[in-house]
Structure 1
Amino acid sequence: MNTKHEINVAGLDFGWDVEEGKFLYEGEDAVLFWISSAMKVFFDTIEEVSGEDATQVVLETTGFRQGLIVGEYFHNLKNVSVEEACDLITNTYATAGWGLAKIKNFNWENKTFQLQLKDDWEYKINVSQEKDKGGNFLPAHYAGIFTGLFGENIAYKVKQYQIEGHDNTIVEYFPSDSTITENIHEFARQKEADQIKKLEELVEQKTNELQELVKTLSSPMIPVIEGIVVVPLLGKYDEKRSKELIDKVLEGVPKQRARYLLLDLTGLAQDITIHTAATIEKLGMAASLTGTKTVLVGISAELSMIMAKKNIQFSRFECFQSLEHGVYHALAESGKRIV
């Protein structure tokens, strides 16, 4: 039984060695796949694993680099002009089942031309995938071919895709400093930028949530007994926190029908500043407008020394060392006492 077969089609040699399991195309190992089934699964799997955007970059880059190998091969053929090489290339690809390719409007001096592709395998795969836009493997592949053939980087721009309802795919080619490798780097930078943006959005969201939590927990208003509320002051107060504190107190005091506002300075410790002192002054004045008297509590000996050193004076307020003393004072002024 003869296991070796050869045939020549349009000047190109095809061979089979069944015993060795080889298919030869122009003397080189080749492989055959069904387009709309096996090749479709191959493309679908890449896209499923990598995502659509990454897949396009991978296929475009692969197509270009494969084409570069072909272009350099034809470039090194002796006694073959560029015009003849173009005919050989399109003929070779037609016999290999890559579809019908025609080169139009070739400007040899400027190295610009137009390529028309009809019923190529990428188009057939895209049809099987039910896509409405063509891929970039073949356009990039021919860019690689002519880059290798000319020894100069050739870029491309797809004018129309056959899958969009046109008779064929039309691609324009021209010299360019932009390379496929730069496209990879640009894609990587874009993906990195997208990730950074997502992280920034997440950080902003979490920051807002934290700020709301801090706003809720910071300086809460605590009802002690009817007519008396306590607001503990914690940490440092910048302009934003000061405004939030004053707004919160002015909103809460009327709701609580408070006649006495006890500001507990215990949590300030060494963090009391001139700005914080000014905030307390403003808070007391604002509360007085609603008929509420402000009393300062939690002024320890240590805090008194710090206030004296910084020349902070609260002469307009009643001041007590502990919260308990402040509550008793407010009750006494109200004509009440704890039994």
Structure 2
Amino acid sequence: MSPLSVTGWVRGTALASVLANLLLVITGGLVRLTQSGLGCPTWPRCTDESWTNVPEMGIHGFIEFGNRTLTGVLGIVAVLTILAVMRLRTEYRDLFWLAILLFAGIPVQAVVGGLSVWLRLNPWMVGVHFVLSAVMIALAAVLWSRTRRYSLPRVREAERLAHLEEADPTMGRLGAALLVLTAAAVYLGTLVTGTGPHSGDATSARHAFDAVTVTRMHSVSVWLTVLTVALGLTLCVRRGWAPGVRAGLLRMVAVLVLQGGIGYLQYFNGLPIWMVELHLLGAGLTVWAAAAAYDRMAVLAQPTRRETALVHVVTPPERQAAQEIAATEG
């Protein structure tokens, strides 16, 4: 490992970034499902007279203000992540810039959340708010994936980075398709929620879409994602892709089965609050798994990306041996 190496502390802050953004999705869902979206009726203050909620506002004020408070937690985690990778910013520029993006996304999310309140929970703006959370989870997932690749020998072995001859462009295209379909499923899910009964406040506007139609569109996007994962697993066997790719796709299978099961159960049981909250958690886990799988497949699909990753993960003797092997095979 190079003198400036990725440590357990760096991995820990990356994982904390994923979990903190996932927690924001959960608490945001709680705000919406308890109709606490306007528990603080203005922004950035909770009321015109107070920065915080007051007892007279009841439970809705506590729930909404608690969700807003998480912005501070996200900020602390983001700062710690930047500090963890600061000394690595020259040799591991990708980690540094991912950490910067995660930090920059926090004020953007806060402003979009404020606009949602000012617009009285307009469903389009609330949808954007959730999509931004999904983007933050995806960025944090890629950061976590790369810190593990750069520092854990077992991950390096599972990905077989040094086997440059195993690079397969089809893997990269499949990973991109998986990410796009997951994004489509998430976006269509916001339309389903914006059309359904859980608006965040009893007086908020809803989408005028037919609920059955948008639900079916969302379902189709999920099934296309499932088929893409199935194709990927088939190619893992037929083309001998690295075990790490198969492991990432199997994690996608696990979260998709969980998410799909909850989705159908909530649909046929009248959208009970606790099931919808679990479905939101499942959406976050799906984005996490999809982003990590995409990052792995995108790197392993191209020899140049494999070589770039190798520079970060191997010691000088190993690096020289890998280069000699590549030269011999070339």
TM-score when normalising by structure 2: 0.21
Q: Which has the higher contact order (CA 8 A, sep 6+)?
A: 2
Instruction: Determine which structure has the larger strand proportion and give its number.
Output: 1
TM-score when normalising by structure 1: 0.21
Question: Which is higher, the Rg of structure 1 or of structure 2?
Answer: 1
